Amino acid sequence: METLSKRKYSGKRNRLAKPELLAPAGNLEKLKFAIHYGADAVYIGGQKYGLRSNADNFSFEEMREGVEFAKKYGAKVFVATNIYAHNEDVDGIEAYLKNLYEAGIAAIIAADPAIIEVAQRVTPGMEVHLSTQQSTVNWQAVKFWKEEGLPRVVLGREASFEEIQEIKKHVDIEIEAFIHGAMCSSYSGRCVLSNHFTDRDSNRGGCCQSCRWKYDLFEDVREEGVWVSEEDMQNARVLQNFELGVNQIPLYEQEDQAFTMGSKDLCMLEHIPDLIDVGIDSFKIEGRMKSIHYVATVVNVYRQAIDSYMEDPDNYVLKPEWLEEIQKAANRPLNTGFFYDTPDHEDHIYEPEEKAVPYDFAGLVMDYDPQTQVATIEQRNYFKPGMEIEFFGPNGTFFKQKVTEIFDEAGNQLEAARHPLQYIKMKVDQPVAYFDMMRKKK
C-alpha cells in the first residue's frame, strides 16, 4: 500500500470519544465472525429493501439469532433498508419494519423519505440512521435530518475532514463514515450504468458493478463508402453492429490494454488519530459481499488500532504488522478517498485488476488441548502436510508454522484435508483458541 502517513489533518481536535466499530455481515456466519473479532455493531441486509440483493441476506429467524448472539458481546445489529423505493416497492414496508423491530434490530439504515416516515411512525423504538445514499456532505443537510428526528447520519463518501469538522461544529448528532472498503465511482452510489447496461437497478440492490468492467475506445464508421480492410475485419477487436450496418474500429493498437474506471479501495488504518479527533462516532467498514477472511482480518486490525490509540493517545504508534495484515485482505490498491483531498487519476484503476489477496481461509479452530498441543480444526479450504500456514485470532494469536501430520477424528492419518467442514487434528507450535483462524498462501 502507498504510504499515506505524510498526509495530515491540521484541523482543531474536536473531542476524544471511543468510536463504534461497525462491520458488514453478509450472512449469519459472517455476523458472528465480525462480532467475535471485535465489531461493536454489524449491519446486515434483509430479504427486501436493501442494496445488496446478491448477498445471502437474512431471514427474520436468522436476524433473531444474530441479535441474540450480538447481545452476548454487547453488540448491536442494524439492517440496511436503503433502496430508493418505486411505487411497487411501497406495499409491505410497514409489516417488514415491524418484523425487524420484533426481531430486536437496533436501527435501520434508510435513504428514502417514505421508508423513514413509515419507520418513525410504526416502530418508534427502532432508530433510523440516514444512509450514505442520501449523499449528505454539509451541515445544513445534517441539521435538516436531525430536525426530522434522526439520531445518526451516514455521510457521503465524498466528505472531507474539513467538512466533517464543520458538521460537528454546527450539529450535535452522531456521524458515521466509511473508513475502509470499496469506493463507488458514482456520487455516493447513485449510479445508473447498471440500469442501462443490464436492466439491473443499482438503487434497488441490483448493481452489476459496471465500473469494474473492461472498456475500450472505438471509432464508428457510419459514412457510406468508407472502406474497412480485411485485416481490420478479422481483428477480434473490430465490432460489427449488423442491424445498423456500423463497423467499429479500435482507435488504439491491438496490444493496448482495455481499461476500467473503478476507484481504488479506501483504507484509513494509518489515520486513526485523525478519524477519532475530528469526532466521527462510528467507523464503518464496507463489504457485505466480502469473505469471512476479509471481515475477520479487517475488523481485527481496526479493533487493535482503535483500542491502542484510546489507551494512550499521546504515545500511539502505528504498528507495521497491522499494515501487513490489511494487505492480506486487500482486494485492490488502497488510498484515503476524499478525506484529505479530491482523488485524481492516481486514485483510479485503469488497467485490469491484479487481485492482491494472497491468502485463503483454510480452517477454523474448534478446540485445543494444551497438554498435547493438538488443535481440532474445521477445514474450510484444501491444505496438506508441508504447507506453510498462519494462525490469527481476536485475542492476539498470531504465528506461522508448517503443517505436520494431520488426522481425522477417528485418528486416521490423512494425506490432505480435502473435505469442506471436516474436523482435522494437528499439532500446533503455539496455543490457539476457539474461533482463531488458519490461513494459507494461495
Per-residue pLDDT at 236: 43
Per-residue pLDDT at 259: 65
Per-residue pLDDT at 29: 95
Higher pLDDT, 405 or 256: 405
Higher pLDDT, 324 or 242: 324
pLDDT of residue 230 exceeding 80, the answer is: no
Burial bucket for residue 205 (CB in 10 Å: 0-12, 13-18, 19+)? buried
pLDDT of residue 243 exceeding 50, the answer is: no
What is the band of 237 on the pLDDT scale with cuts at 50, 70, 90?
very low
pLDDT of residue 241 exceeding 70, the answer is: no
Whether residue 207 contacts residue 194, with contact meaning beta carbons closer than 8 Å, is answered with yes
User: Whole-model pTM above 0.75?
Assistant: yes
pLDDT of residue 146 exceeding 80, the answer is: yes
User: Which candidate, 99, 111, 124, places its Cα nearest to that of 47?
Assistant: 99
Per-residue pLDDT at 3: 39
Higher pLDDT, 25 or 252: 25
Longest dimension (CA), the chain: 85
pLDDT of residue 169 exceeding 90, the answer is: yes
- For 109-130, what is each residue's pLDDT tens digit? 999 999 999 999 999 999 999 9
pLDDT of residue 1 exceeding 50, the answer is: no
Per-residue pLDDT at 5: 38
User: Which candidate, 329, 157, 339, 350, places its Cα nearest to that of 258?
Assistant: 350
Grid coordinates of 286: 464496507
What is the band of 20 on the pLDDT scale with cuts at 50, 70, 90?
very high
Higher pLDDT, 236 or 385: 385
CATH of region 20-189+262-349, choose from 1.20.120.140, 1.10.3720.10, 3.20.20.70, 3.40.50.920: 3.20.20.70
Whether residue 393 contacts residue 301, with contact meaning beta carbons closer than 8 Å, is answered with no
- For 332-373, what is each residue's pLDDT tens digit? 888 998 999 887 777 777 666 555 567 899 999 999 999 999
- Mean pLDDT, the chain, rounded, equals 85
Torsion angle of C-alpha atoms 277, 282, 287, 290, degrees rounded to 10: 90
Contact residues for 287 (Cβ-Cβ < 8 A; gap 6+)? 24, 26, 181, 182, 294, 295, 298
> What is the C-alpha to C-alpha distance for residues 256 and 325, in angstroms, rounded to an integer?
34
Q: Which CATH superfamily is domain 359-441 in?
A: Translation factors (2.40.30.10)
Q: What percent of the chain has pLDDT over 90?
A: 64
pLDDT of residue 238 exceeding 50, the answer is: no
HSE (CB half, 13 Å, CA atoms) of 191?
A: 24
- For 197-224, what is each residue's pLDDT tens digit? 777 766 555 676 777 677 776 665 555 5
What is the band of 187 on the pLDDT scale with cuts at 50, 70, 90?
low
- For 273-330, what is each residue's pLDDT tens digit? 999 999 999 999 998 888 999 999 999 999 999 999 999 999 999 999 999 999 998 7
Question: Would you kindly state where each structural domain of the chain is located, as residue ranges?
Answer: 20-189+262-349, 216-257, 359-441
